[in-house]
Each structure stands twice: as C-alpha cells, then as structure tokens.
Amino acid sequence: MSQKFRGVIPALITPFTADNQVDVEGFKRNIEFAIKNGVSAIVPCGTTGEAATLSALEHKKVTDAAVEVSSVPVIAGTGSNNTAEAIEYSKHAADAGAAGVLLITPYYNKPTQNGLIAHYEKIADSVDIPMILYNVPGRTSVDMSASTIAELAKHPNIVGIKEATGDMGKATEILSKTADEDFVLLSGDDIATLPLMSLGAVGVISVISNIVPNKMVQMVSAFENGNLAEAMKIHYELAPLMKVLFVETNPGPIKAAAGLAGHAAGPLRLPLVSLQPSSLEALVVELKKCGVLK
C-alpha cells in the first residue's frame, strides 16, 4: 500500500483571488502543470497550502478540486490540533476519493508521546484511508520520537511519515525501527531529499516542485536509476533556490515565486504578509539562475 506514495509530491500552494477567495480554476491549472512535469502525487491543504487559514468549507473545496482534476494520487492534508476535526477532514478526503491523508502533529496543545499515539490511532481507527504522519517540530513545537513513529507504523492504516527535521540520525533510526513494516519515509524538506534517499527515503513532499517539478523529478529519477553524479549535479544546481524559498516563512517565498513564474498564486492570508523587498530581490536572482525567470 505504501509504495504508491513515493517520488516527487508537490505540497501545493492554494492560490487566492484579489478579493481573498480560493482561486479554484487557477488551482486546477497548477495541478495540471505539476502532473505534466512528472510528479508522482500531490498534496493539497498542507502547510504550503495555507491550510491553517482555510475555513472548513474551503478546506473541503480545495480537496474536492484536487481529486476532481488529478490523474495522480491525492494525499490530502487533513491534520489538526483537534483530533475530532482531523477525523472529520480525513473522512471527507476518503469520501472525496483521495488516495491518502497527511496529518501534522497537533500544534499548540503540545501532546506527550502517548498523546501523539492516542491521537493518530484514534484517526486511523476511525477512517479507512492510508495515513502519512507529518513531523515538523519547527512548526508545531512537538517532536515525534522514532519510537513513537515505530509504534504507529504497526497500524495497518499508517503507511509513512513526512520527516521534516533534517536530522539524518533520526531518519536512520526511523528507517531502522520500521524496516519490517509497510511504511515509507518521505523527506519534508527539499534540500534534505537526496541525503535522505541515500538512507532509504523514497521521495519528497516538496515546496520547490510548485515551480520546477521537472528538475526535482529528474533528480529523484537519476538517484533511483543509480546515476548519483547526475542527482548530485541537480541537487547543487537547485540548492540555492531551495534555501531562498525559506528566506521568510513558507509559503511566502514559493507563492511569490509561483506568481512571478506565471502560475496562479495571489496574495497570502494574514497573518502572513508579502515578502520584504530584499527577500524578493534574492528570490528573483535565484529564479533567474534556475531558468524560471529570464
């Protein structure tokens, strides 16, 4: 089951219109662009999709639009710091036809490791859909331990993790502890993709793939085909852009980049604001170097 979740999987931005409504048609065009460039699956309603400021109705609308237009698996972001709400979103995603769901660790509440196990097992017992855990302590202030992840990997509905700590030692421990389970590790950080794949990760849930999906697909494919030199060449070519896409809080830079590249993007929702001029200038420099802009 977990093997369908591999390769390059863009964490899609949610484009908004000038009056702050979800740009559904623009969103569909962005999905078609990503699929045409070889991505393996897509993630709507993640961190990069500004899920935190989508209303419940918008959240479901974006998921529905993704499933409607996508010819690759849809992994819907359905996480919440409210377990009941995460179950509601996950049930909706399953009913809509999503292939899986991505569930961030509960933020703000700061649950214990036992609380994390109870949260995820409750969702996995309530909704029959493959689940990918999402560990990003820089966003949530909660770090899911490798032992907790290994315990959760025993559940038949929990099939993988998006690991966004960038900690190679921890990734090694997770992969070791889950080796006997039907469970995959995906990078949650573009720049860590190649190092993590060398340890056994099977792909990336990617920010940069909103604008250069083809390059990320080429890098991952090169590695999988045993051409490490080519994979490293692309990694180093993209690394400065990967870095500048986090010069301010994600998804500010990637949304600006997407708009500059002609994709549907629109404004950020408060409390996020447009990039500072110096950040935008640095972003444009790297977009030109990678051929996104002339």
pTM above threshold 0.85: yes
Q: Report d(CA 284, CA 293) in Å as an integer.
A: 8
Q: Of the listed 60, 120, 162, 215, which one is catalytic?
A: 162
* Mean pLDDT to the nearest integer, 275-280: 98
137: confidence class by pLDDT, cuts 50, 70, 90: very high
- Among this protein's residues, is 162 annotated catalytic? yes
Q: What is the pLDDT of residue 2?
A: 58
From 138, 131, 132, 79, select the one nearest 105 (Cα to Cα): 79
Express each pLDDT in 102-130 by its tens digit: 999 999 999 999 999 999 999 999 999 99
4: confidence class by pLDDT, cuts 50, 70, 90: confident
Express each pLDDT in 191-216 by its tens digit: 999 999 999 999 999 999 999 999 99
Residue 263's Cβ-side half-sphere holds a number of Cα atoms within 13 Å equal to 26
Structure tokens at 94: 């399953």
294: confidence class by pLDDT, cuts 50, 70, 90: confident
Q: Of the listed 134, 177, 215, 255, which one is catalytic?
A: 134
- Among this protein's residues, is 107 annotated catalytic? no
Express each pLDDT in 48-102 by its tens digit: 999 999 999 999 999 999 999 999 999 999 999 999 999 999 999 999 999 999 9
β-sheet bridge partners, residue 187: 163, 204
